[in-house]
Amino acid sequence: MASILTFSKIPEILFLVVENLDIKDVLSLLQTCKSLYPTCHHRLWSTLPLNSEYNGPRCHSLAEVISTSGCDNLKHTKSITLGRSVFRCYSEEKEDEPEINSFLSKAFDDGQLNPRWVEVVLSKPIPQDSHFSYYPDPVKPLLPSERQLLLSLREYCRLRARNGISVSLSTRVISDIPKYFHLATMTKLWLSGLQLRVADSASSQIAELTSLLTTLPHLKFFGWAMYNMWQKDHEYSHPHSPQEFAQLQAAITNLRDLRELQILAHFWDSDFFVIPPKSVRKLRIGNHIEKASWWRQFAECPLESIEELRIWGRTRSHNSFTLGDVAIRGLKTLRISGYPAPVDLEECLLRCNQGLSSESLMELVMKKAYNTISVFEDELMEDFRSSNKIIAHRSTFKFLDHPELGEMDRERGFARDLAEHFLGRVTERLTSLLWIPKNPQDLEYMEYKRNNLRGALKASGESGKRLYPAKFAEGLEKVTEHDARPGRGCFLGDWPTARWIGNDAAEQDAISEAKFKKVAEFTERLRNATEAEILVQKFSWHEDWRTLNETHRWQDASYLAERLRVICRYKIENITTANNENFADTIMRGILSGEKVDVEALMVEWIRAKVKDFVTEAEAERQSSWYNDIRWSFQRR
């Protein structure tokens, strides 16, 4: 206790410590010692967030405290948020005016509430990574008490504008901003969910925004997120002119204090590209920006002042166009989420900005490594299912033809065939994924190959379902050599990884050895790839690949390899079941470390139940009346 008492004698340091505590911890500390009460009490009232997720409780509790104890505690408030608990626009049922509004208005008027930072939230927040179009609710008119509160806040800001008051506003109604806010003190403006009225023309709305921006001299943050149905499905009654957009661009250019610009949707016209002012350091581009003409303007703009760029992508549209190059240079931070519309956007930005921070590089490396494993997750799962079906069909016929084979021989044979077949498919899949196209023609070719691969897998699965019952029903327990060759029936076409099917044991062993050698060589390249080689997309998985200059190598290549192992194991465990850890480990080691392990021994335990099921089902089917009826009908023919 003595140490706490000593510490409480230095309130400045104590307050710095208390600022980093949770509210519950501050309350607990407040009850520990009387000497700590003033500092903790000051901390509890320093921030007043009236933006609760629920309507009422916190707001009414505060009103009750003020009505019984007065407004003396508000003198400690330096930051206040007026949102969900204050304004009725969030409430769908409750129409009563919150009692707190009158208390806050009086506190502003009497000087009892003197915050230095005020946030006003008049529109529902929209997630910046939302993948859905936003349809705004009808705009509700402000209640008298809400209007009075905003007017009191405006007067307070006007009188204390020289004291560094900062106002942040989130709304969707531009016309109300000059009425209820002191524009000279506004530093952050977020126009989110802006509702475009059908009766209004685009020209009047552009004029409103242009006029507003010219009266915000100290704006540091401007965000635009205009999601609405009218922009997509309807035309405006009065077409806008290029001069109107030129005036809007001029108004944005004159925002000399602007530091951050977020554009999550188009400014009415999807071809209009906003050039950020030279003062902007952070630029955010949202997932609703998809038109090729907009992105080509982005690529041609040098954006000399931008140091941090973040882009939210989406998968709603087909990313079919490329940029070739970008003019932006000097980025220090780059973050790309999802899949932006231009196919080569990330490649161009990385190639033209060599001074990115290590944090940005590592994040992009992890994203690329994750996408490498996960982008074809469905296809890998289909590979496993197809391999399982194919090997199960072959093994079933073989077991029925050779009943002298023991249980262990059956298990080891099935395990060897399935492991080799599936390992080959995964290796080929990763090889195709990690081969980086260097021009748009190669990109189109890769997309063509991928589409063919998807179709082949689906066709393979469907034909497999038809082939086995038909052959079995006809009484052909042994598949003919013609049907067993690759490219027939349910097999995987003439892919190199499937050509071993039908070969004799010696040739199969030789191919297996070559396959494991290929896996080892491939995984050694993957394991030794540097981050820079992967990021700038010059690492080719062919004989003629060239290593970058030593100055471009990074020290975290081993970390990348370890992360790739973890990601690969996680994905493969998703493909298999929870009880297949040994099998997942085997595949992971075979792909990413090149180790030659005893695949058969590790898979025997996992395969045991499967082989029994296959044999049991086949024998039961042969003895069933359905099978005998079908076979008898074929014999009569």
Tell me the pLDDT tens digit for each residue of 328-341.
Answer: 988 999 988 877 77
Mean pLDDT for 244-258 is 91
Domain boundary pick from 356, 387, 407: 356
Q: What is the mean pLDDT of residues 613-633?
A: 48
pLDDT at 154: 92
The pLDDT value given to residue 328: 92
Q: What is the pLDDT of residue 252?
A: 93
Choose the weakest-confidence range: 120-129, 313-322, 527-536.
Answer: 527-536
Position 254 confidence tier, pLDDT thresholds 50, 70, 90: very high
The closest of 500, 497, 542, 545 to 522, measured between CA atoms, is 542
Mean pLDDT of 89-102: 60
Do 320 and 384 share a domain, yes or no? no
Asked whether the beta carbons of 214 and 179 are under 8 A apart, the reply is no
336 & 383 share domain: no
What is the rounded average pLDDT of the residues 146-164?
Answer: 88
Residue 111 confidence (pLDDT) above 60: yes
The share of the chain scoring above pLDDT 70, in percent, equals: 39
Are residues 401 and 342 part of one domain? Answer: no
Amino acid 270: pLDDT: 78
Segment of 76-80, 314-318, 327-331 carrying the highest mean pLDDT: 327-331
The answer on pLDDT for 167 being more than 80 is yes
Give me the pLDDT at residue 214, please.
Answer: 92
Q: Is residue 215 helix, strand or coil?
A: coil
Mean pLDDT of the region 285-305: 86
Q: Which residue has the higher pLDDT, 227 or 475?
A: 227
Helix (H) or strand (E) holding 82: strand 79-82
Q: Which of 328, 356, 384 represents a domain boundary (last residue)?
A: 356
pLDDT recorded at residue 75: 75
* DSSP letter string, 498-560: GTTTT--HHHHHHHHHHHHHHHHHHHHHHHH--HHHHHTT---SSTT--PPPGGG--TTHHHH
* Structure-model confidence comparison of residues 36 and 594, the more confident one: 36
The residue with greater pLDDT, 479 or 125, is 125
Distant-in-sequence, close-in-space partners of 231: CB < 8 Å, separation ≥ 6: 196, 265, 266, 268
Instruction: Give the confidence band of 418 by pLDDT, cuts at 50, 70, 90.
Output: low
Over 60: is that where the pLDDT of 287 sits?
yes
E strands present in 296-351? 308-312, 333-337
| Higher local confidence (pLDDT), 190 or 554 | 190
**480 shares its domain with 444:** yes
Give the distance from CA 123 to its chain's centroid.
24
Kindly report the average pLDDT of the chain as a whole number.
Answer: 63
Query: How far apart (Å, rounded) are the C-alpha atoms in residues 564 and 530?
Result: 12
In this prediction the pTM is 0.58
Q: Where is average pLDDT lowest: 128-142, 291-305, 363-377, 477-491? A: 477-491
At 219, the pLDDT band (50, 70, 90 cuts) reads very high
CA separation, residue 182 to residues 50, 207, 216 (Å):
21, 20, 9
Do 335 and 424 sit in the same domain of this protein?
no
The residue out of 326, 356, 386 marking a domain boundary is 356
Higher pLDDT, 218 or 581: 218
Better-predicted residue by pLDDT, 282 or 611: 282
According to the model, what pLDDT value does residue 225 have?
Answer: 82
* Residues 437 and 494 grouped into a single domain: yes
Cα(430)–Cα(409) distance, integer angstroms: 31
Q: Residue 208 pLDDT > 70, yes or no? A: yes
Name residue 262's beta-bridge partners.
223, 284
Q: What average pLDDT does the segment 417-433 reach?
A: 58
pLDDT in tens, 490-527: 222 232 223 323 333 344 445 445 544 544 454 455 44
Is residue 131's pLDDT more than 50? no
Q: What is the CA radius of gyration of the chain?
A: 33
Is 29 among the domain residues? yes
Tell me the mean pLDDT in the region 312-331. 76
The reply to whether 331 and 431 lie within a common domain is no
Instruction: Give me the pLDDT at residue 143, please.
Output: 81
The yes-or-no verdict on residue 476 having pLDDT over 90 is: no
Instruction: Answer yes or no: is 417 within a domain.
Output: yes
pLDDT (0 to 100) of residue 366? 61
Residues 6+ apart with CB under 8 A from 1: 33
Q: For residue 367, tell me if it sits in a domain.
A: no
Tell the burial category of 404 from Cβ atoms under 10 Å away from its Cβ (0-12, 13-18, 19+).
exposed
pLDDT band at 280 (very low <50, low <70, confident <90, very high): very high
Whether 180 maps to a domain, the answer reads no
Dihedral sign (CA 33, 35, 36, 40): positive
In a domain, 555, yes or no: yes
Is there a single domain that holds both residue 329 and residue 401? no
What per-residue confidence (pLDDT) applies to 318? 54
* pLDDT exceeds 50 at position 306: yes
Same domain, 449 and 302: no
Same domain as 459, residue 343: no
- In sign, the C-alpha dihedral spanning 589, 594, 599, 602 is negative
Residue 621 counted as domain residue? yes
pLDDT above 50 (res 269):
yes
pLDDT of residue 17: 72
The answer to whether residue 489 sits within a structural domain is yes
Domain contains 123: no
Domain check: are 438 and 470 in the same one? Answer: yes
Range in 54-68, 338-352, 605-619 the model is least confident about: 605-619
**pLDDT of 312 above 50:** yes
Regarding whether 406 and 292 lie in a shared domain, the answer is: no
Number of domains in the chain: 3
Strand ranges, E, within 549-619? none
pLDDT bucket at 162, cuts 50 / 70 / 90: confident
What is the model's pLDDT at position 222?
95
Residues of the chain with pLDDT > 90, as a percent, come to 12
373 or 356, higher pLDDT = 356
Give the per-residue pLDDT at 221.
Answer: 95
Range of the domain at 37: 1-44
